[in-house]
Amino acid sequence: MNAPAHLKYTKSDEWFDPASGKVGLSDYAQGQLSDIVFVEILVEEGETIEAGKPIASVESVKASAEIYSPAGGKVAAVNKGLSDKPEVINTDPYGEAWMIQLEGASEGETMDAAAYEKYCEERAH
């Protein structure tokens, strides 16, 4: 499992980069979902959102899932190209597959990489 140390994570498997404000779906989550075939971003640039608000919906060959924001703030950018290439979530979850970027973000309930890895290991058993 890949969980970069500079990111924060939620129990619902989203990641948040406090430095850039970017948000996405964790490597663990994409692995559980398998081949992602559809992504819909549910928020728009300029919108102010709260931590825990649904920001996207993803579908894979196995399941569908709601993606929730790990932080609150103003949506500064939306990764519009992601809906054209949803499979990038499987290949580059922490890079090209970011979903939204927040400015003036305040974190919700997040954990560091070590705590998140431990949480994922506990769920696997």
Q: Is residue 49 part of a domain?
A: yes
61 confidence band (pLDDT: 50, 70, 90) = very high
Q: Give the Cα separation of 107 and 67 in Å (integer).
A: 15
Q: Is residue 2 part of a domain?
A: no
Q: What is the pLDDT of residues 84-102, one digit of tens each?
A: 999 999 999 999 999 999 9
**For the domain that residue 93 is a member of, what is the CATH number?**
2.40.50.100
**72-88: average pLDDT:** 97
Q: Give the Cα separation of 115 and 98 in Å (integer).
A: 22
Q: What is the pLDDT of residues 102-123, one digit of tens each?
A: 999 999 999 999 999 999 999 9
Instruction: Specify the number of domains making up the chain.
Output: 1
